[in-house]
Amino acid sequence: MSRQPARVAVLAGDGIGPEVTAEAINVLNAVGDRFGHQFVFSSGLIGGCAIDETGAALPSETITVCSESDAVLLGAVGGPKWDNPTAAVRPEQGLLGIRKALGLFANLRPVKLVPALLEASTLKPEVLAGVDLLVVRELTGGIYFGPRQEASADDPTAFDTMLYTQPEIERVTRLAAEAARGRSSRLASVDKANVLASSRLWRRVVTEVVAKEFPDVQLEHVLVDAMAMHLIRRPSAYDVVLAGNLFGDILTDEASMLAGSMGLLPSASLGNALNSYGHPRGLYEPIHGSAPDIAGQGIANPLAAILSAAMLLRHSLGLEDEAQVVERAVESVLADGLRTRDIAWGARRIVGTAEMGNAVVQRIMQ
C-alpha cells in the first residue's frame, strides 16, 4: 500500500530497555516486510543514560525527536547508579517530563490472560477465567504533579498534593468511556471519595460526563481499597477501569500478576495531539522497570515491549490488522511452550530475549 513511512522515535533508556526495544523494532520491521509498510527509526536519550551524557533526564533534543515522530517507543528508565531519591536530577523525571511535554494524559494498560500462561499466575484458574481488562490511568495530574515539598533541616515536613481540575478529569473520562463503548459498555471508576476531596470531585465529574455524553455506558464507582481486593477475588467482573494517576499506577502493577509477569504487559500513553496519519501521537512502553539485575544478560522478556509495538500499530498508525497479527504471533509462541525465565512455569523450552523475539518474527512472516 502507498503510505508515507512511519516515523518512530525510540527511547531505549536504561537497564533492559535497549534489549527489549531492539526486539520490538525487529517485530515492526517484520510487519513492514509482510505488509509493505516502512518505518523510520530515530533515537533519543532519556533517564539515567541521558543524565550521564547530558546532565538532564530529558534533554531538549529528545523532546524534539519525539515531537517530530508519529509515535514513540520507550524501554525503561532507572537503576542503582541513579537511585538516590534526594538527587536533584533523577531518571524518573524523564518519564514525567516526556508525558507532560507530549500532552499524554491517558495511559492504557490492557490485561488479557493468555490461556497458555494460566500456570504462570499465582491465582486459581477458575478465578482467572475470562479476565480481559483495560485500565485507563490519568497520567499528567494528581499527586505526581501537584505542589510538593521535600523535608529539610529547617523544616522536617514533606508533602505531595493530590490535585485535580475538572477539565483533567473530563478528558480522561471521555477516553475511558469511549473505550468502554467499544467493548462491553461497562466502566468502573476508582476513587477514594469517602476520604479525599480530590476524589469527590473525581466522582462527581466522572458521573456527569458519562451521564451526559455516554448514556449507553454502565458506570460503577469503586473505592480504591475495594478494587485492590476485587482484582484478586473477582477480576473478570471488570472490563474498563478508570483511575487517577497514583491509584492507576498501583492497581495496574497488581493486575499484572493476573497475567503472571510484568514482562507480558504493554501500555499506550495517549493525548490529543495528532500525528501525520491523523491518529494520536502516542508513547508505547512495557509496564516493567529497567530490571538492572538482569540487564545485559540476554534473558529479559521482550513480549511486553513487542505487545507495546502492537499497540503502536493500532493506536498511532491505524493498522488494526497488523496489530492483531503481532498479538496472535505472541500467543502462538507461548502456546508452543517457549518461555523466558520470568514465566518459566510449564515451559517446554526456556529461551532468551533475542530467541523469543526471533520466534515472534517468524510467526509474523508465516
Question: Which distant-in-sequence residues (6+ apart) come within 8 Å of 236 by Cβ?
Answer: 127, 128, 129, 130, 131, 132
d(CA 190, CA 137): 10
User: And the C-alpha cell for 330?
Assistant: 505472541
User: Is the pLDDT score of 30 beyond 80?
Assistant: yes
Q: Are 315 and 277 within 8 A, CB to CB?
A: no
Query: What's the pLDDT tens digit per position in 89-135?
Result: 999 999 999 999 999 999 999 998 888 888 777 888 888 888 999 99
Rounded (10°) CA dihedral 53, 283, 159, 241: -160
Q: Are 267 and 287 within 8 A, CB to CB?
A: yes
The highest-level CATH class for domain 122-258 is: alpha beta
Question: Is 342 an annotated catalytic residue?
Answer: no
Percentage of the chain modeled with pLDDT above 90? 86
Beta-sheet strands, E only, within 266-324: 268-271, 283-284
pTM over the 0.85 mark: yes
d(CA 82, CA 49): 10
The highest-level CATH class for domain 1-105+274-366 is: alpha beta
Beta-sheet strands, E only, within 44-162: 71-76, 104-112, 132-138, 148-149, 159-160
> 70, 144, 238, 284: which one is catalytic?
144
Question: Is 225 an annotated catalytic residue?
Answer: yes
Q: Name the 3-class secondary structure at 309.
A: helix
> 14, 249, 284, 342: which one is catalytic?
249
Containing 41, the helix (H) or strand (E) segment is strand 39-43
Question: Is 192 an annotated catalytic residue?
Answer: yes
Question: Is 144 an annotated catalytic residue?
Answer: yes
Domain boundaries, the chain: 1-105+274-366, 122-258
Given this chain, do its domains 1-105+274-366 and 122-258 carry the same CATH topology? yes
State mean pLDDT over 40-65.
98
- Residue 35: burial class (beta carbons within 10 Å; 0-12, 13-18, 19+): middle
Q: How confident is the model at residue 1 (pLDDT cuts 50, 70, 90)?
A: very low
> 225, 293, 321, 336: which one is catalytic?
225
For residue 115, the model assigns a pLDDT of 82
